[in-house]
Amino acid sequence: TTWCRWLSPGGGSAGWFLDWVEIDAQSLGQKLVFPCGRWLDTGEDDGAIIRELYPNPLQTMLYTPFVPYEIKVFTTDCFGAGTDADVFIVLYGRNGVCTQQKRLCVNKRERRIYFERGAEDMFIVELEDVGDVIEKIRIGHDNRGVNPGWHLDRVEIRRLLRKGKYWLAKSEEDGETVRELVPSDIITEKLGRDGGLKVTEIEVEDALETHGYSVAVMTGDMYRAGTDANVFLTIYGDLGDTGERKLSNSETNSNKFERGEVDRFTMEAVDLGQVYKIRIRHDNSMLSPDWYLDQVEVVDLDTEEVYLFLCERWLSKKKEDKRISRFFYVKGYEGVRESETSKKKSLPPMLDSNMNKKSKKKKEEEVVEVLPIIPYHITVATGVERDGSTSSRAFVVIFGAGDVRSDRLWLDLADGKSSF
C-alpha cells in the first residue's frame, strides 16, 4: 500500500486547499496520483494541517521501470573541444528497446561547468531499462550557446560502453550534431572474496555496423516550390531509425531546396536494415517557408540498395492540408501505414478538483481505420460560357467505396491568378 502524508507548516499565510499530489516513482515504473480536495488549515475544515493521502488506483500509470546508469563523457583535449550546448543521450538495447532522450545537464549553470576541454564528466541518471546489452547510443546537442561545437572523445556507460572520437559541431567535418555510437568493449566488475575488485574487459563480438546513407532531395519544378526554412529528416528501417537529422550542408548547392534542384546529403547511422519510411518536415521559418517536395532518394552506401520515396506534396501552412510535416513510404511498400493525424499522445488522466464528490464517465475511444495518404493530381476545366469563371475558393471531396471520403481539399490558385 502506498500513501502520502502532507504537512502544511506555519507561515505568513499558512492556510492551504490541497487538490491533489502526483508522485512519479521511476525506479518502480509507477506514476501515482493522490487525491485530497481538502483544507490544510487550523481555521478550516477539521483544523488538521497534516493529512494522509492514498493513491487513486484508477489513475495509477504503470510503465517500464527505470534503472540508474553511470555515464562518463570524455571531451577531447584539443583546441575548442568543449561545448556550452545542451547535450542529450539515448540508449538502445536489443529488439528495438530504447530510452527516452535524456538531457545530461539540468540547467544553464551545469552546461557552463561540464564538457570542457579534456574533461571527464560523470552523470548518474535514471532511464528505462534496455536490458543487459546496450547495442548503441545516440548522443548529440542542440547547437546552442556561445561555443556549441564539441569534440567528443568517448563515452563509458557502467560496465558496457566505450567508443568515440568525433566532432559534434556545425563548423567541423560533416556538420552533424548527432552521432550514433556502438560498443567496442564490455567491462565487468566483480567483488572477490578477499574484498578486491576484479575487472575484466572483453571486446564486443558481432557489434552493430555503422552505415553511410546518401540522401537526394528533389524540389518540385513549379512556381515558388523552393523553401528557405530549415528542413529535418528521419529515416526508418526494420532495424531502427536515424533520429531526426537537420539537412544542413548540401553537397550540390550552396542555396538549398530551390525550385527544380536536387540537394544531396550524407549521414551516418547504425545499420537500419530495410528502409521503408521517412518523415520530413520544416520549421516554417524565414520569409519563404512553403515547399513543394517532389521526391526523396535514400541510398545505403554499404549495401548499394536504393530506396525511392515519391512525395509530390506541399509542406506549407497555406497550401493543401496546411501540414509542414509528412510521412512517406518507399515506392512499392505494401505494409501497414500510418498518417500524421493517427499519432495521438496518451496523456496521464487529470484529476478533477471535485473528484471526491462525484465521478465522471469516460468516453469510449473510437477506433478509426487509418488509410494510406497518396497524392492526387487534380485538373479543373472552366467552361467557356459568359461569366463562367469564379473568384470564390473551390474545394473537392473525394469519395471511395464504403462511404470512405477525403476531407475538403482546397484548390488554391497559383500565384498571379485571382479566379478560376
The 10s digit of each residue's pLDDT in 236-264 is 999 888 989 999 889 999 999 999 999 99
Q: What pLDDT sits at residue 200?
A: 73
From residue 366, alpha-carbon distances to 341, 342, 363 in Å are 14, 12, 9
Report residue 266 as a C-alpha cell: 550524407
Question: Which residues in the chain show pLDDT less than 50?
Answer: 1-2, 11-12, 159-164, 343-368
Q: 52-70: buried (b, 16+ CB within 10 Å) or exposed (e) per residue?
A: ebebeeebeeeeeebeebe
Q: What pLDDT sits at residue 379?
A: 74
Q: 231-265: buried (b, 16+ CB within 10 Å) or exposed (e) per residue?
A: bbbebbbeebbbeebbbbebeeeeebbeeebebbb
pLDDT tens digits along 172-190: 556 666 776 767 666 666 6
Cα 178 versus chain centre, distance: 13
Q: What pLDDT sits at residue 362?
A: 39
Q: What share of the chain is helix, strand, coil (3-state, %, to 5)?
A: 5, 40, 55
- To the nearest 10°, report the CA torsion of 227, 229, 230, 233: -50
Is the separation of the CB atoms in 186 and 206 below 8 Å? no
| Residue linked to cell 534542384 | 261
For 163, other C-beta atoms within 10 Å of its C-beta total 23
From residue 66, alpha-carbon distances to 3, 100, 223, 256, 414 in Å are 21, 11, 52, 42, 53
Nearest to 178 by CA among 137, 122, 132: 137
- As a residue count, the chain comes to 420
Q: What pLDDT sits at residue 328?
A: 94
Is the separation of the CB atoms in 420 and 389 below 8 Å? yes
d(CA 42, CA 340): 53
Q: What pLDDT sits at residue 230?
A: 93
Q: Which residues pair with 270 in a beta bridge?
A: 210
Is the separation of the CB atoms in 167 and 150 below 8 Å? yes
Q: What pLDDT sits at residue 163?
A: 43
